[in-house]
Structure 1
Amino acid sequence: MKDYFKQLLEKSNIKLEDSKIDILLEYLRLLTEKNKVMNLTAIREEKEILEKHFIDSLLLSELFLHTDKKIIDIGTGAGFPGLVLAVVFPEKDFLLVDSVRKKVAFIDETAEILGLTNVKTSYERAEDLIKNSRSSFDVGLCRGVANLRIILEYMIPFLKTDGRFLPQKLNENEISESGNALKVLNSKILKIHRFRLPESDDERIIIEIQKLKETDSQYPRKTGIPAKKPL
């Protein structure tokens, strides 16, 4: 499996030290074992997990800046992309958030086994977590959890001014309808990055969004409202 993972990395132009590859493969082992008794990912086959979860997460690594120190990943599930990136960037601090407590417990257990001291977790909903975390993070991450204009309302308030949100999407369909949300939340799209997964050739989109100035304290609105009445 290590040789296959290295092939995927090479095809994706991602360079990783051998020691980090070994840690990620141990993460893969823990994930596939736990996935037998708990639904962490619908993808079961190890090679497919490596491509569609691990490589997919690692595509973000070239967009990280040296100055990015605090990263939040909302809706992380089994740790994608945040836990993968925490292995690659031990000097950065990651907060991985998911409302499903069993998934958070898996991340906590896995981070401890892997020796990751730069990972913290929360199962609080974003509307509650924001109370003590507003304008605290350099980068926000999210893999396709919700429509872009909904997740913008949850994520942008967590970011510092000039911080960046890097949502991952399967296509650009949601961008055209997110203009009002971007305006209301004082943010803008800097660039749209396009990638192809090395084996399946599936397209992946990363939207680079910058927070321009402080977000009004009324955002995010109460639970359920962003989904029912998107900006």
Structure 2
Amino acid sequence: MITENILPTYEQLWKKTTNWTPSAENLKLWQELYNEILEANKYLNLTRITTPEEFWEKNLWDSLAPILEYDLKDKKIIDIGTGGGFPGLPISIVFPDAKLTLMDSVAKKINFIKEVAKKLNLTNIDTLVDRAEVIGQDQNYRKQYDFALIRAVAEISVCLEYSLPLLKIGGITILYRGNLTEEEKIKIDEITHKLGGKVVKITNQNTPIQNHHRHCIYIEKVKLTSKKYPREVGKPTKFPL
């Protein structure tokens, strides 16, 4: 293995920022995941985040920090627009008793995730090639999940329309964002209410190395989402709520 492709472990940084430290097995599987990403990136545009330090911060820490406070044993989690498998793959490694569905509309990316899950023996992952607007109206997925994770996929109203219909009552959507304006915060309350949710909290914890802004918005599903949401493919982005 090439030395410059060894991931940093940063146990103390994990402890300081999340009050959690990874196990030896976590570290081993993260390294294997990183190796697979580097290899696949030669022919598949998975991520521009390839240096070890950046990968640790933006694809491991950033994926896990917002969800480590929860007990995910036997919880059903959907990662909407997973891309190269983030935040879903790091979460599946740390929480082997959780049940994850990694969804994206790009088949090549999902095929890569399937291969990686097999190589790393991640038996808690299902994959899905589809659109959020479609599965949100499918009874096999609607109201089925304890957590819906959505990371920088689209503007906030679109993310909410994609995610809330998929949650059970009492389920939590976590929106991973960068900057967040006061205007956006007001809008979140309005749209969340319309879709059957309520804002539980908004956190602001900058990344531990490069000090980039990171907001996470936690929304609980408190009542059923109207059957008219999500609207048909393309409408949430073209005509946001």
Q: TM-score range by the shorter chain?
A: over 0.9
Q: Give a deviation string over 1:133-166, Cα, whole Å, max 9, x none.
A: 1100000101111111111011100000111001
1:54-93 correspondence to structure 2 within 5 Å: 54-66=60-72, 69-93=75-99
Aligned to 1:142: 150
**Superposition deviation, residue 5 in structure 1:** 4.3
- Counterpart amino acid of residue 175 in structure 1: K
Mean Cα displacement is larger for which, 29-38 or 84-93? 29-38
Alignment check: 8 A CA contact 2:102 2:128 kept: yes
**Is 2:211 the counterpart of 1:201?**
yes
Unaligned runs of 5+ in 2: 1-5
In the alignment, the residues of structure 2 paired with residue 199 and residue 179 of structure 1 have an alpha-carbon distance, to the nearest angstrom, of: 31
**Superposition deviation, residue 46 in structure 1:** 2.2
Alignment check: 8 A CA contact 2:60 2:90 kept: yes
Match of 2:200 among 186, 190, 195: 190
In the alignment, the residues of structure 2 paired with residue 85 and residue 68 of structure 1 have an alpha-carbon distance, to the nearest angstrom, of: 13
In the alignment, the residues of structure 1 paired with residue 233 and residue 98 of structure 2 have an alpha-carbon distance, to the nearest angstrom, of: 30
In the alignment, the residues of structure 1 paired with residue 168 and residue 93 of structure 2 have an alpha-carbon distance, to the nearest angstrom, of: 24
Q: Give a deviation string over 1:76-97, Cα, whole Å, max 9, x none.
A: 1111101110110010100001
- Counterpart amino acid of residue 61 in structure 1: I
Question: Could you say what secondary structure the match of 1:138 adopts?
Answer: strand
Alignment check: 8 A CA contact 2:7 2:53 kept: no
Match of 1:170 among 161, 178, 181: 178
Question: Could you say what secondary structure the match of 1:61 adopts?
Answer: coil
Aligned to 1:102: 108
**Superposition deviation, residue 2 in structure 1:** 4.7
**Superposition deviation, residue 172 in structure 1:** 1.8
Match of 2:122 among 103, 110, 116: 116
Alignment check: 8 A CA contact 1:156 1:185 kept: yes
Alignment root-mean-square deviation, CA: 1.6
Aligned to 2:3: none
- Counterpart amino acid of residue 216 in structure 2: I
Mean Cα displacement is larger for which, 135-144 or 43-52? 43-52
- Counterpart amino acid of residue 139 in structure 1: F
Alignment check: 8 A CA contact 2:147 2:167 kept: yes
TM-score, normalised to structure 1's length?
0.94
Aligned to 2:220: 210
Aligned residues: 231
Alignment check: 8 A CA contact 1:126 1:154 kept: yes
Question: Could you say what secondary structure the match of 2:216 adopts?
Answer: strand
- Counterpart amino acid of residue 93 in structure 2: V
**Superposition deviation, residue 203 in structure 1:** 2.1
Alignment check: 8 A CA contact 2:165 2:229 kept: yes
Alignment check: 8 A CA contact 1:148 1:175 kept: no
Aligned to 1:154: 162
- Counterpart amino acid of residue 140 in structure 1: A
Q: Percent identity?
A: 38
**Superposition deviation, residue 3 in structure 1:** 4.5
Alignment check: 8 A CA contact 2:72 2:95 kept: no
Alignment check: 8 A CA contact 1:8 1:55 kept: no
CA distance 1:218–1:123, change in 2 (3 Å) = same
**Superposition deviation, residue 228 in structure 1:** 1.6
TM-score, normalised to structure 2's length?
0.90
**Superposition deviation, residue 36 in structure 1:** 1.7
